[in-house]
Amino acid sequence: MRGRVRGPAPLPEAAGRVWRTLGAAFVLLVFVPPLLLLVSGSFTEPGLPPPPTPQLVPEPVSTTGYEQAVELGGLLRASLNSVLVALVAVPLSVLVASLAGFALARVAPRVTGVVAAASLVALMVPATALLVPRFAIFRMLGLTDTLVPLVAPALLGTSPLYVLVYYLAFRALPAELYDACLVEDLSPARTWWRVALPLVRPVTAGLTALTFVLTWSNFLDPLVYVYDRDLFTLPLALRSLSVLDPTNFPVFLAGAVLATVPALAVFVLAQRRFLHHDDPTGRD
């Protein structure tokens, strides 16, 4: 029987609550003021010269910037393309990463060490260094100017970091849980789905939110692989608004607001898991 695998000792409840509160306050302090200025600037009347100082409440308040952003930038179709990519890439990426992390936590330590070291080496390779070979592969397969290259990285879990995070989470679970699954004659797949995965819900929530934000804001890959304007994702559509006259800055800011809202909504949905501590044995 394998010995008990001990994860890092959890913080005392009071100390953990204090650190979570401080972290939330830091996030609010850093991100809320720029968001307020972004929203207020989007309600400025297009065509007027930029104000000499930032205005929290513009005069006059206008929604023309949003109307022109949707009309000129084609944000509606671009948003649908981004949603389609996210709906496929995010669940697939989390699924693959969790399966790989669970397998890594259950194999022999020697194999785990080799795979973890290879993953760390892969993390050190700049993403831009892979653009040319990836482009050559997708072009050879005839998949350029489609949305497939934007989804394909999810088949590998998107990033080795996700696999390592899941590995650490599954490794921190008590070994007795896995032993009980063996006694109950549960297959590895059922152990992963019914026992291990529900106990690492905060990790799943965090990686889901992170993957969505990275997928939603991905600009480089669509720029390299997508040429048809009807297939543009939201970052590419926003790029077309950035070349407008400087007096039309509210149009670009309105487009930026529309692109930011989904990411904020996902974060709000996941924040309960960010700030909530689950006991590995199942007791909250």
The pLDDT tens digits for 16-56 are 677 777 877 787 787 788 888 888 888 888 877 777 777 77
- pLDDT, tens digit (0-9, with 9 covering 90-100), for 62-115: 888 888 888 887 888 999 999 999 999 999 999 999 999 999 998 888 888 898
Which residues, listed in sequence order, are joined to residue 256 by a DSSP beta bridge? none
Tokens of 37: 């200025």
How many Å apart are CA 262 and CA 38, to the nearest integer? 15
Number of C-beta neighbours around residue 14 at 10 A: 8
Give the domain ranges of the chain: 68-276
For all residues of the chain together, what is the average pLDDT? 83
* Range of 84-93, 115-124, 257-266 with top mean pLDDT: 84-93
Least confident of 1-10, 56-65, 219-228: 1-10
Q: Does domain 68-276 have CATH number 3.90.1300.10?
A: no
How many Å apart are CA 274 and CA 10, to the nearest integer? 15
Residue 234 confidence (pLDDT) above 70: yes
Q: How far, CA to CA in Å, does 264 sit from each of 82, 173, 234?
A: 15, 31, 15
Least confident of 73-77, 188-192, 225-229: 73-77
Higher pLDDT, 49 or 235: 235
* HSE, side-chain direction, 13 A CA sphere, residue 264: 11
The pLDDT value given to residue 273: 63
φ and ψ of 124, to 5 deg: -80, -15
Residue 150 confidence (pLDDT) above 50: yes
What lies within 8 Å, CB to CB, of 50 at 6+ separation is 246, 247, 249
Which residues, listed in sequence order, are joined to residue 44 by a DSSP beta bridge? 61
Average pLDDT over residues 135-160: 90
99: enclosing H helix or E strand? helix 75-106
Residue 1 confidence (pLDDT) above 50: no
The pLDDT value given to residue 275: 56
